[in-house]
Amino acid sequence: MDNTALEIVGGKPLRGEIEPQGAKNEALQVICATLLSSEKIILSNIPNIRDVNFLITLLEEIGVKVEQLAANTFSFQADAIQSDYFTSAAYLEKARAIRGSLTILGPLLGRFGRAFVPKPGGDKIGRRRIDTHLLGFEKLGAKFNYDAHENSYSIEAPATGLKGTYMLLEEASVTGTANIIMAAVLAEGTTTIYNAACEPYIQQLCKMLIAMGAKISGIGSNLLSIEGITKLSGCSHRCLPDMIEVGSFIGLAAMTASEITIKNVAYNELGIIPDTFRKLGIIIEKRNDDLHIPAQEHYEVQRYIDGSILTINDGTWPRFTPDLISVALVTAIQASGSVLIHQRMFESRLFFVDRLIEMGAEIVLCDPHRAVVNGLNRRYALRGISMSSPDIRAGVSLLIAALSAKGKSNISNISQIDRGYEQIDLRLRALGADIKRI
């Protein structure tokens, strides 16, 4: 836990324009994909956040030549990888710090035939097993070993190399699908992945690999076909805007009764995110590729056609992303009506509601996966408190609550928020928020 905090004086409506950063989850994948080629690759719209910066530093220590060309643009060239570094204590310690390091397995296995990674870190939101990754590699012919002493994995391709095959994934894991794709693009023969994740992040990764020379079909579906080739070239690739930031800003506007325009959102890549927030009663106007959220004193939760209570739950694409469940929950606090929030995928993600209840929210935590929010309809404001950010998404949700609350709040351990949101205090201050880093 770090010793910095955000001090927020809430209860002030915000106004103005804000542009989402580049997509964090996409950036982590495409940065790892640069390991697949010895040629120069240029990536733009890379967010300046802790997790991404840490991964870039890790690649530099592996031997990748990295050059920053502009504020959010980098070139990568992996033509001198230091294979001995992967077994060092320094590598294991650094790679363990972020879950994004897991996605170097596929590129290293595909290109060099061997890969090492410690059991990954990341948000403490429940079990996050990596069986899908390892079993997919095994289907391609690789052998893996778990070192209980080092708490790390080693994977090795056979001497004859990886072989394309058919596989049915037991879960549509985004990072698992990405890892298997990156191993398969350099395997011999054709790999078919059924029940593949098809999030925009995966689609973007596939488009980048095709620009590098890969042969991939079925993009956007859960059935991918990859015809392996022997070598990939360089390319240029631009990351999408971060859909999680877009959803966070929608929730922020509603909770603070603010008029905010979210610029350049890549609307067609947002899936059901806008419509899910509309079900909470939030007015969202599409203006070209921007979203305008007018100031609303009241917003009313919709009910189903038969009159039953609205349920918002997460799932694999194209369902509602689990990364916005926390934001949807906090947004419902000041709605008119009730909603059941069902976090299916992670059993520890809703425990932050204790802090919201302390602030005055009417929430019943039914079990680790479900909470009922009874909207206050602004009968009274939340009250400011001191709290700690447990993970990226809960952290920004607590920040939204604090900005809507009466009085002063302090949020500690904000390195968690910094892992996923670029200079969030400065960007919100530009909208009129009373927020400072202490």
84-125: per-residue pLDDT in tens? Answer: 888 787 887 777 777 678 899 999 999 999 988 777 654 444
Q: What is the pLDDT of residue 122?
A: 45
- Per-residue confidence at 160, pLDDT binned at 50, 70, 90? very high
353-408: per-residue pLDDT in tens? Answer: 999 999 999 999 999 899 999 999 999 999 999 999 988 999 999 999 999 999 99
Contact, 47 vs 24, CB < 8 A? Answer: yes
Q: What is the pLDDT of residue 346?
A: 66
Q: Exposed, middle or buried: residue 169 (CB in 10 Å: 0-12, 13-18, 19+)?
A: buried
Radius of gyration of the CA atoms of the chain, in A: 22
Residue type for position 421:
Y
**Mean pLDDT in residue range 411-422:** 93
CA of 277: how far to CAs of 156, 207, 310, 413, 418, in Å?
45, 29, 12, 28, 24
What number of other Cβ atoms are within 10 A of residue 297's Cβ? Answer: 8
Bigger pLDDT: 130 or 352? 352
The CB-based long-range contact list for 348-351 (8 Å cut-off, 24+ gap) reads 348/124, 348/125, 348/126, 349/125, 349/126, 349/322, 349/325, 349/391, 349/393, 349/394, 350/325, 350/326, 351/390
Q: What is the pLDDT of residue 150?
A: 67
**Mean pLDDT in residue range 124-134:** 68
Q: What is the pLDDT of residue 335?
A: 98
291-349: per-residue pLDDT in tens? Answer: 999 999 999 999 999 999 999 999 999 999 999 999 999 999 999 999 999 998 766 77
Q: What is the pLDDT of residue 275?
A: 98
Q: What is the pLDDT of residue 128?
A: 52
pLDDT at 425 over 50: yes
Contact, 384 vs 411, CB < 8 A? Answer: no
Q: Exposed, middle or buried: residue 267 (CB in 10 Å: 0-12, 13-18, 19+)?
A: middle
Please state at what angle helix 392-404 crosses helix 243-255, rounded to 10 degrees. 20
pLDDT at 146 over 90: no
181-198: per-residue pLDDT in tens? Answer: 999 999 999 999 999 999
- Mean pLDDT lowest among 17-21, 151-155, 195-199: 151-155
Cα gap 253→257, rounded to integer Å: 6
pLDDT at 27 over 70: yes
Backbone φ and ψ for 198, nearest 5 degrees, come out as -130, 25
Report residue 241 as tokens.
């805007």
Active centre residues (catalytic): 123
198-221: per-residue pLDDT in tens? Answer: 999 999 999 999 999 999 999 999
pLDDT at 28 over 60: yes
Q: What is the pLDDT of residue 126?
A: 41
Q: What is the pLDDT of residue 168?
A: 98
**The dihedral of CA 313, 314, 315, 317: what is its sign?**
positive
DSSP string, 171-204: S--HHHHHHHHHHHTTSBSEEEEES----HHHHH
The alpha carbon of residue 372 and the mean position of all alpha carbons in its chain are separated, in whole angstroms, by: 25
Q: What is the pLDDT of residue 124?
A: 46
**Mean pLDDT in residue range 416-420:** 92
Contact, 132 vs 196, CB < 8 A? Answer: no
231-286: per-residue pLDDT in tens? Answer: 999 999 999 999 999 999 999 999 999 999 999 999 999 999 999 999 999 999 99
| Lateral strand order in the sheet of 363-367 | 310-313, 338-342, 370-374, 363-367
